[in-house]
């Protein structure tokens, strides 16, 4: 009779499969080893995010069960194993390699529902002012990083700016590319080319060289605005390769890059990074209320409104936390369920390093 596998055995098997997908044995250059270390660091970060999601939903869906004690040792064991891989990379001559790895989140687009955005008017106007100003740095093309932890609304702010009429009139070409974890130069180039030419890549364009030549010709002398959303990692070489066709663009062209990581902003930014801050308590409540109550601006039960405002305060000005928890309670009329969320241990699971709520790991 087959025995049930324990949580640790199941996850151990998963880590083994993940390691096989991540690495293949072959000689490595110094650059390859550095990239491997960065790759493993990113995997550790993603595992921490997944762990936070598990803890969050465990507490929300099973508020009377303490599942944290079960999962914490398993997660720590996974991180120890990843650390061991990093330390032994030189001995094993490992090379990073990820093939056909499914993305963990939906891609973003340039579209935004402006009525659902609160408290970003000042940041929006500051960025638009930078975009419309030419010659601030003396560069032909400038890169503006928007930096902040997950769930602060970096993508939403970029969407607001991208769709502003003043911005649309100022630039001849606009293109939006969701980059996410892997910085794939060919894929990004295809997206940008497809947008500026209003056509998808066909069989006549089969390699990066042809793509870049055609993109360079299309951009020649024309002012453009590109958005690279959710960039997790990039090297100098990758950025240099991607940006070569951009130099043909018109003076005053701009590129917006949204990222959680200061090192990304440091590599590609030419303008001062725009660091996104938390929403005010009032704006955070407005966002929570819009998603928690079916009729915007209307709360049928004053008791729910009172509890909702307390939940909004605990979201600490983080838009995604307010949106996620508001959506969670949207179809829940039972006041006891609201009180469970308010008094739940979820609020004690702040990331000790960054002060991030587990709800943010849904981003």
pLDDT at 237 (0 to 100): 96
Mean pLDDT over each residue of the chain, to the nearest integer = 78
pLDDT in tens, 197-226: 887 655 556 689 999 999 999 999 999 999
Longest dimension (CA), the chain: 74
Inform me whether the pLDDT recorded for 138 exceeds 80: yes
* Assigned token pair, 128: 């638009």
The candidate with the shortest Cα–Cα distance to 48, out of 319, 291, 329, 360, is: 360
Asked which of 49-58, 94-103, 203-212 is least confident by mean pLDDT, the reply is: 94-103
Distances (CA, A) of 59 to 18, 65, 245, 295, 314: 27, 7, 49, 28, 16
Share of the chain above pLDDT 70, in %: 63
The neighbour count for residue 335, using CB atoms within 10 Å, is: 13
pLDDT at 185 (0 to 100): 95
pLDDT band at 258 (very low <50, low <70, confident <90, very high): very high
The whole-angstrom separation of Cα 208 and Cα 189 is 8
Report the DSSP beta bridge partners of residue 258: 146
Inform me whether the pLDDT recorded for 77 exceeds 60: yes
pLDDT in tens, 260-271: 999 999 999 999
Run of H or E including 228: strand 224-231
Alpha helix positions (H), 234-359: 236-243, 262-268, 281-292, 302-314, 319-329, 335-342
Q: Which residue has the higher pLDDT, 131 or 321?
A: 131
Inform me whether the pLDDT recorded for 29 exceeds 60: no
The whole-angstrom separation of Cα 260 and Cα 131 is 21
Q: Give the best-scoring range by mean pLDDT among 21-30, 120-129, 281-290.
A: 120-129
Query: Based on the number of CB atoms within 10 Å of its own CB, is 68 exposed (0-12), middle (13-18) or buried (19 or more)?
Result: middle
The whole-angstrom separation of Cα 163 and Cα 338 is 36
pLDDT band at 53 (very low <50, low <70, confident <90, very high): low
The whole-angstrom separation of Cα 147 and Cα 144 is 10
pLDDT at 362 (0 to 100): 37
pLDDT at 325 (0 to 100): 86
pLDDT in tens, 313-339: 888 898 988 988 888 888 788 888 888
Q: Please give the span between the terminal C-alpha atoms of the chain, in angstroms, as a whole number.
A: 42
pLDDT at 60 (0 to 100): 54
The whole-angstrom separation of Cα 123 and Cα 131 is 12
**C-alpha torsion sign, points 5, 11, 12, 15:** positive
pLDDT at 99 (0 to 100): 45
Cα-based angle 23, 28, 29 (whole degrees, multiple of 5): 140
The candidate with the shortest Cα–Cα distance to 258, out of 143, 119, 356, is: 143
Asked which of 7-21, 39-53, 207-221, 226-240 is least confident by mean pLDDT, the reply is: 7-21
The whole-angstrom separation of Cα 49 and Cα 55 is 10
Query: Quick one: fold of 118-275?
Result: Rossmann fold (3.40.50)
pLDDT at 68 (0 to 100): 54
DSSP-derived secondary structure letter, 140 = S
pTM > 0.85: yes or no: no
255 contacts 246 by C-beta, under 8 angstroms: yes
Q: Angle 154-162/121-132 helices, nearest 10 degrees?
A: 50
pLDDT at 74 (0 to 100): 64
Number of H helices, E strands in the chain: 15, 7
**C-alpha torsion sign, points 133, 138, 143, 147:** negative
Q: Which residue has the higher pLDDT, 209 or 76?
A: 209
Domain boundary assignment for the chain? 7-96, 118-275, 281-350
């Amino acid at each position: 009779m087959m025995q049930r596998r324990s949580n640790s055995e199941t996850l151990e098997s998963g880590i083994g499969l993940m390691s096989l997908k991540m690495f293949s044995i072959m000689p490595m250059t110094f650059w390859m080893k550095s990239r491997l270390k960065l790759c493993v660091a990113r995997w550790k970060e993603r595992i921490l995010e997944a762990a936070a999601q598990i803890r969050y939903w465990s507490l929300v869906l099973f508020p009377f069960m303490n599942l944290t004690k079960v999962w914490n040792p398993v997660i720590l064991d996974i991180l120890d194993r990843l650390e061991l891989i990093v330390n032994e990379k030189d001995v094993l001559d490992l090379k990073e390699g990820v093939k056909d790895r499914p993305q963990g989140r939906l891609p973003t687009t340039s579209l935004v529902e402006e009525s659902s955005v609160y408290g970003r008017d000042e940041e929006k106007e500051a960025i638009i002012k930078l975009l419309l100003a030419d010659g601030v740095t003396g560069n032909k093309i400038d890169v503006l990083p928007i930096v902040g932890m997950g769930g602060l609304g970096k993508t939403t702010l970029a969407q607001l700016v991208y769709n502003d009429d003043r911005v649309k009139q100022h630039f001849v070409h606009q293109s939006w590319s969701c980059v996410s974890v892997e910085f794939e130069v060919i894929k990004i180039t295809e997206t940008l080319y497809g947008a500026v030419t209003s056509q998808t890549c066909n069989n006549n364009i089969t390699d990066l060289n042809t793509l870049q030549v055609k993109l360079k010709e299309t951009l020649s002398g024309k002012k453009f605005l590109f958005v690279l959303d959710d960039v997790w990692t990039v090297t100098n070489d990758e950025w240099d390769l991607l940006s070569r066709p951009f130099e043909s663009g018109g003076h005053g062209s701009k590129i917006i890059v949204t990222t959680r990581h200061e090192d990304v902003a440091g590599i590609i930014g030419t303008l001062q990074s725009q660091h996104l801050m938390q929403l005010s308590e009032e704006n955070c409540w407005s966002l929570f209320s819009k998603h928690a109550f079916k009729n915007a601006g209307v709360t049928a039960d004053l008791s729910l409104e009172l509890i909702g405002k307390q939940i909004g305060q605990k979201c600490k000005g983080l838009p995604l936390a307010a949106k996620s928890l508001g959506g969670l309670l949207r179809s829940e009329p039972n006041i006891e369920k609201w009180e469970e969320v308010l008094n739940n241990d979820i609020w004690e699971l702040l990331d000790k390093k960054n002060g991030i709520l587990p709800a943010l790991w849904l981003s």
